[in-house]
């Protein structure tokens, strides 16, 4: 029988954020260690492999949740990580298995808010605390000065233009949406109600869900209009939290830890958060040759400006942008896969 503590621990770990709520992980209890391994879900639409940057961020976020739960229970974890994102990614051995379990508040409170935020400035003490967070070679930049934010928003817009012209990403996005009650109840992907769409927004999504239709409209410049719409909320945000650091697989896992820690602390402080991954995703596509045709020069220029804006060294990148601010309303939250779909007792 699985120890109750281990099952509860795995449930907290699995509350981590992932690309469009894809939850690309599997937690396995061997009787001595808890493993984090890759789980490919919806292979026909998935664009992120086991070794992809987006997946590794999610794995780091799972590890951060697990450590948060272990700490809340006074349990020490001993981590071992495989090189180059081998499987399993890593294991954690714990010094004891308590009978009871204390759930930390943070992982359950962390969520995405895609609704408009208030324009109030964030408290200086909170900005300083979040800005001082570090994990391995990764760090945080807090952009609240208008010129800096406008500069980064421009890079988001250019990157969004490239994304809206990418057939694989179009397939991934619409494959991730959950519309019917049965689809929403499945527990992964994005509940369409969580997007905070304006009146007519669902109909518009349905209209552009056909790649043949949107590719035709893109020849008339639709991708530019869609990208401008994409940056409306981030342009109005009072601050942007940016995680950057090295690009080797272990550093990206560490970046996922740092991302999750900052996001959780912000939510616990009553600050709303929405992640923007599009810049990093397009930079990765520039290097692996999967950009939409015709965007290499533009995304190359984006990369150079990202390095200037954040003072990045060779071998470093921007891992994630978070739009942050005080919420105007509580969002709908996408659901999670059942525990038996993300956890197994292999002992």
- Residue 39 pLDDT: 97
3 state SS of 324: strand
Q: Rounded to 10 degrees, what is the CA torsion of 89, 21, 278, 232?
A: -150
pTM of this prediction?
A: 0.97
- Residue 2 pLDDT: 81
Band (pLDDT 50/70/90 cuts) for residue 95 is confident
Residue 142 contacts residue 256 (beta carbons within 8 Å): no
* Residue 50 pLDDT greater than 90, yes or no: yes
Band (pLDDT 50/70/90 cuts) for residue 3 is very high
Nearest 5 degrees, angle CA 105-CA 237-CA 299?
Answer: 105
* DSSP-derived pairing of the beta strands 190-191 and 177-178: parallel
pLDDT digit string (tens) for 112-151?
Answer: 999 999 999 999 999 999 999 999 999 999 999 999 999 9
Q: How far apart are CA 261 and CA 268, in angstroms?
A: 11
Q: Which domains does the chain have, with CATH numbers?
A: 4-110 (3.40.109.10), 124-325 (3.40.109)
The share of the chain scoring above pLDDT 70, in percent, equals 100
Q: How far apart are CA 338 and CA 275, in angstroms?
A: 24
Band (pLDDT 50/70/90 cuts) for residue 347 is confident
Could you tell me how far CA 136 lies from the centroid of its own chain?
19
Query: Which of 72, 69, 77 lies closest to 96, judged by CA?
Result: 77
* Residue 1 pLDDT greater than 70, yes or no: no
- The single residue listed with the structure tokens 């739009």 is 323
Q: How far apart are CA 63 and CA 20, in angstroms?
A: 19
- Residue 57 pLDDT: 98
Task: Give the contacts of 137 (CB within 8 A, at least 6 positions apart).
Answer: 245, 246, 251, 254, 316
The share of the chain scoring above pLDDT 90, in percent, equals 95
Q: How far apart are CA 123 and CA 290, in angstroms?
A: 41
- Residue 85 pLDDT: 86
pLDDT digit string (tens) for 193-233?
Answer: 999 998 999 999 999 999 999 999 999 999 999 999 999 99
Q: How far apart are CA 180 and CA 298, in angstroms?
A: 38
Band (pLDDT 50/70/90 cuts) for residue 90 is very high
Round the average pLDDT of the chain to a whole number and report it: 96
pLDDT digit string (tens) for 61-81?
Answer: 999 999 999 999 999 999 999
Q: How far apart are CA 27 and CA 15, in angstroms?
A: 12
Task: Give the contacts of 17 (CB within 8 A, at least 6 positions apart).
Answer: 58, 61, 110, 112, 259, 260, 263, 275
pLDDT digit string (tens) for 276-327?
Answer: 999 999 999 999 999 999 999 999 999 999 999 999 999 999 999 999 999 9
């Amino acid at each position: 029988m699985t120890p109750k503590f281990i099952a509860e621990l795995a449930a907290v770990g699995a509350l981590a954020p992932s690309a469009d709520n894809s939850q690309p992980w599997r937690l396995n209890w061997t009787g001595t260690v808890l493993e984090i391994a890759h789980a490919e879900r919806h292979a026909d639409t998935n664009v992120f492999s086991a070794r992809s940057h987006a997946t590794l961020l999610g794995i780091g976020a799972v590890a951060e949740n697990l450590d948060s739960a272990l700490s809340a229970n006074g349990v020490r974890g001993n981590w071992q990580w495989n090189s180059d994102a081998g499987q399993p990614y890593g294991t954690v051995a714990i010094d004891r298995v308590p009978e009871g379990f204390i759930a930390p508040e943070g992982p359950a409170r962390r969520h995405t808010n895609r609704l408009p935020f208030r324009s109030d400035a964030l408290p200086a003490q909170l900005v300083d605390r979040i800005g001082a967070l570090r994990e391995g070679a990764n760090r945080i930049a807090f952009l609240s000065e208008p010129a800096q934010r406008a500069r980064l928003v421009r890079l988001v817009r250019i990157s969004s233009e490239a994304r809206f012209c990418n057939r694989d990403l179009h397939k991934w996005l619409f494959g991730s949406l959950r519309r019917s009650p049965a689809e929403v109840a499945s527990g992964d992907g994005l509940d369409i109600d969580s997007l905070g769409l304006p009146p007519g927004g669902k109909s518009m999504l349905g209209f552009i869900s056909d790649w043949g239709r949107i590719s035709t409209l893109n020849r008339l410049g639709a991708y530019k209009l869609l990208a401008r719409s994409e940056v409306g909320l981030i342009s109005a945000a009072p601050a942007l939290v940016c995680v950057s650091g090295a690009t080797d697989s272990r550093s990206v896992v560490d970046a996922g830890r740092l991302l999750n820690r900052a996001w959780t602390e912000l939510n616990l402080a009553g600050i709303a958060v929405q992640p923007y991954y599009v810049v990093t995703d397009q930079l990765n596509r520039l290097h692996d040759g999967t950009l939409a045709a015709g965007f290499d020069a533009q995304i190359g220029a984006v990369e150079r400006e990202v390095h200037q804006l954040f003072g990045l060294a060779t071998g470093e990148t921007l891992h994630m942008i978070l739009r942050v601010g005080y919420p105007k309303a509580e969002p709908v939250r996408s659901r999670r896969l059942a525990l038996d779909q993300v956890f197994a007792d292999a002992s």
